[in-house]
Amino acid sequence: MTMADRLQTSAVGTGTVRLDGPDKVRGLAPYAYEHPVDDPVFLSPVQAEIARGRAVDIDTSAAEASAGVVHVLTPTNAPELADTEDGELAILRSNEIGFRGQYLGAVIAETPEQARHAAELITVSYVQDDHDVELREDHPGAREPESGPGEITVGDFGAAFAEAEIRIDARYSTPMEHNNPMEPHTTIARWDGSTLTLWASTQGVHPARSTLAPILGIDPDRIRIISPHVGGGFGSKGVPHADMMLTVLAALALPERAVKHAVTRQQMFSITGYRAPTLQHVRLGARSDGTITALGFDAVAMSSQTKEFPELAIKPARIMYSGDNRRLTQRVVPLDVPVPSWMRAPGETPGMVGLEIAMDELAEATGIDPIELRIRNDTPTDPETGRSFNRRRLADCLRLGAERFEWGERNPEPRSRCRGEWLIGTGVASATYPANRQAGSVARIRFTKDGYEVAIGAADIGTGTWTALTQVAADALEVPGAEVRLRIGDTDLPNATVAGGSTGLASWSAAVLTAAQTFRSLHGHDPEIGAEAEGKAEENPAAETHSLHSFGAHFAEVRVHEATGEIRVNRMLGVFSAGRIVNPRTARSQFVGGMTMGLGMALMEISELDPRFGHVVNHDLAEYHVPTNADVPAIEATWLDEEDPLAGPLGARGIGEIGIVGAAAAIANAAHHATGVRCRDLPLLADAFLPNT
């Protein structure tokens, strides 16, 4: 079976209003907690209050005697696990403590108030060991990531850098950040003795099942996960975290009861993943015309002793700019901290902070306009592998953005504009994200009396899958969208890969397109009721021959108050080259949403890990600042009109992540232009712009 070379589009490319929208503006679309279940009980966890050591005694007597308590789960009575390799998910195996906030047990009670109160009644005695939660560049525990790469070398960086006419040598840092989707991670779990049913907030029902099944020793066929609507994830719901496992263990202990467990906002800061902080040492050697001759990028990221997660900040430097001599190193430092995980464009997002501020510094040092500098160092081939790109249009994005943003009006001199007491500046940065597609998704198309039912276990985490995949299916079947009934978010549907890495729509669409083609070849255009066909997404062959990436450009204007240091963004523009845009209405929202999160990263987001206690002390939404409406000015996103044949018949690349990549650097560069202050550590708080005394 071969797929058509190109999809003939009719629905694809139009801004269909979200099909799940009418329910969502009324609050009727059910998220994980909201599925009606009989006989619910409520779970409240007990968490470690030391960062390393052992719980020598967990006294549950008062909790067990407390009103409404049905069960108290501890390492002593927790159900057995078949596989304990995964340090994050193999919970309640012993009383050893690897990070503050680690689960030590849980109370299950008839009401949420009773569960929470009883959990507070549990007293834990500890033997405390010294803990280490501080990331340092020279940390003795720094090591290459288990999954690599630890070092990438092209040419002779050392010699080229030493000989370079102009050298930039600077250190940058990005902080610990928490995804903080608005819907806290939630699971309802029920075990009826043979089947485990989960209503869960997850970016992939099938991947979550494949992860849980071997650990639990339960056949995947006896696990069903349902997740039609997900209240945001940004990576944090991409893999199951310990909260899901804890709920499952409670359900196994209480057959026939539906155990409901919504993680509290505070608990999310130790349980559901985060972006690991990074330290970046960037060295750029260049000729006076701006041509980069040497590129060095050394990144160190926090990881956890409990389970490794490598925040690969070197990723974007591998492909962004030319330069014959390159040396990139990546280290991780496993510490006594919660387990990091995916957060919107892991690797690229922090990595572009150091690289793109360094480029601004190089522009300043060479006196070359920062856009021109980037264009001069554009490269038609992957500087590491020599492979061709899939039509790399970075320069087009920069040029279009420059025109739209009126970059030409800019006086490059820092502190050259003000309004009242506000200093005003503009900045630019590049954006990039790999265009990956995953193999393995299966779509099933069935003709019913209501039209074409298209079934695939895909997820809509706010990305617009309900709408965009319906559009794809409609065009694949050559019928109006109204004749397609999409079903997603259930392991009873055919297998789907995760909504992550900006691969979702491209990967699922590949399955839907194949299924549609098979359906038509088997059943023609006038099928019988009940006619059915399946299609599977295969590997993208172009991934073997080309370097597949999206590119873009961010522009930002900021103002900084001269007297108080306050910094605010006035306007932002993003221009993206991302292949075919399936739904301009929802696509624009994703780009702008990524840029908005980039604004938060630039100006306010930081999880303050107190080294004495080992936990994030600003663990709520009052003190972990995400942007409010008032922080977000006119943000515009636009894109190049194109399709990418190397991405597959749909011609589309993923767009969920590129919007954040580079956005923070554009803002940091604008802040420098406004004030003359070069900030190399995010976030850019007011302190940076105030005098020292």
* Residue (111 or 147) nearer to another protein, CB: 111
* Residue (34 or 396) nearer to another protein, CB: 34
Residues 607, 123: Cα–Cα separation, whole Å:
28
Tell me which of 183, 311, 361, 657 is the catalytic residue. 657
Residues 204, 227: Cα–Cα separation, whole Å:
8
Helices (H), 405-545: 465-477, 504-523, 542-545
Let me know the angle formed at the C-alpha of 467 by 466 and 469, rounded to the nearest 5 degrees. Answer: 75
- Cα four-point dihedral sign 643, 648, 649, 654: negative
Q: How far is the CB of 24 from another protein (least distance, A)?
A: 3
Structure tokens at 274: 């985060």
Q: How far is the CB of 318 from another protein (least distance, A)?
A: 28
Q: Are 466 and 488 in contact (CB under 8 A)?
A: yes
Q: Are 305 and 180 in contact (CB under 8 A)?
A: no
Q: How many CB atoms lie within 10 A of CB 182?
A: 11
* Residue (24 or 485) nearer to another protein, CB: 24
* Residue (154 or 640) nearer to another protein, CB: 640
* Residue (154 or 685) nearer to another protein, CB: 685
Residues 676, 680: Cα–Cα separation, whole Å:
13
* DSSP code string of 157-221: HHHHHHH-SEEEEEEEEE--B----SS--EEEEEE-SS-EEEEE--S-HHHHHHHHHHHHT--GG
Residues 590, 463: Cα–Cα separation, whole Å:
7
CA of 448: how far to CAs of 197, 315, 489, 500, 518, in Å?
27, 47, 20, 31, 17
Strand 609-610 and strand 442-448: pairing? unpaired
Residues 647, 659: Cα–Cα separation, whole Å:
19
* Residue (193 or 420) nearer to another protein, CB: 420
Integer-rounded Cα Rg, in Å, for the chain is 26
Helices 205-216, 242-253: crossing angle, 10 deg rounding: 60
Residues 440, 594: Cα–Cα separation, whole Å:
27
* Residue (300 or 688) nearer to another protein, CB: 688
Q: How far is the CB of 32 from another protein (least distance, A)?
A: 11
* Residue (385 or 411) nearer to another protein, CB: 411
Q: Are 350 and 680 in contact (CB under 8 A)?
A: no
**Residue type at position 484:** V
State the DSSP code for 409: G
Q: How far is the CB of 190 from another protein (least distance, A)?
A: 17
- Cα four-point dihedral sign 462, 464, 467, 472: negative
Q: What are phi and psi of 201, to 5 degrees?
A: -90, 105
Q: Is 137 a catalytic residue?
A: no
State the DSSP code for 408: G
Helices 465-477, 504-523: crossing angle, 10 deg rounding: 30
Q: How far is the CB of 423 from another protein (least distance, A)?
A: 10
Task: Tell which residue, 575, 435, 447, 446, has the closest CA to residue 505.
Answer: 435
Let me know the angle formed at the C-alpha of 195 by 339 and 88, rounded to the nearest 5 degrees. Answer: 10
Q: Are 29 and 674 in contact (CB under 8 A)?
A: no
Q: How many CB atoms lie within 10 A of CB 231?
A: 19
Q: How far is the CB of 14 from another protein (least distance, A)?
A: 10
Helices (H), 367-498: 370-376, 394-404, 465-477
Can you tell me which residue has the tokens 């630019």? 428
Q: How far is the CB of 391 from another protein (least distance, A)?
A: 20
Q: Are 624 and 607 in contact (CB under 8 A)?
A: yes
* Residue (363 or 603) nearer to another protein, CB: 603
* Residue (389 or 639) nearer to another protein, CB: 639
* Residue (273 or 594) nearer to another protein, CB: 594
* Residue (260 or 307) nearer to another protein, CB: 260
Strand 258-262 and strand 40-47: pairing? parallel
* Residue (426 or 495) nearer to another protein, CB: 426
Residues 242, 192: Cα–Cα separation, whole Å:
22
Q: Are 461 and 589 in contact (CB under 8 A)?
A: no
Residues 355, 292: Cα–Cα separation, whole Å:
12
Residues 531, 519: Cα–Cα separation, whole Å:
8
**Residue type at position 37:** V
Q: Are 458 and 426 in contact (CB under 8 A)?
A: no
Q: Supply the residues annotated as catalytic.
A: 657
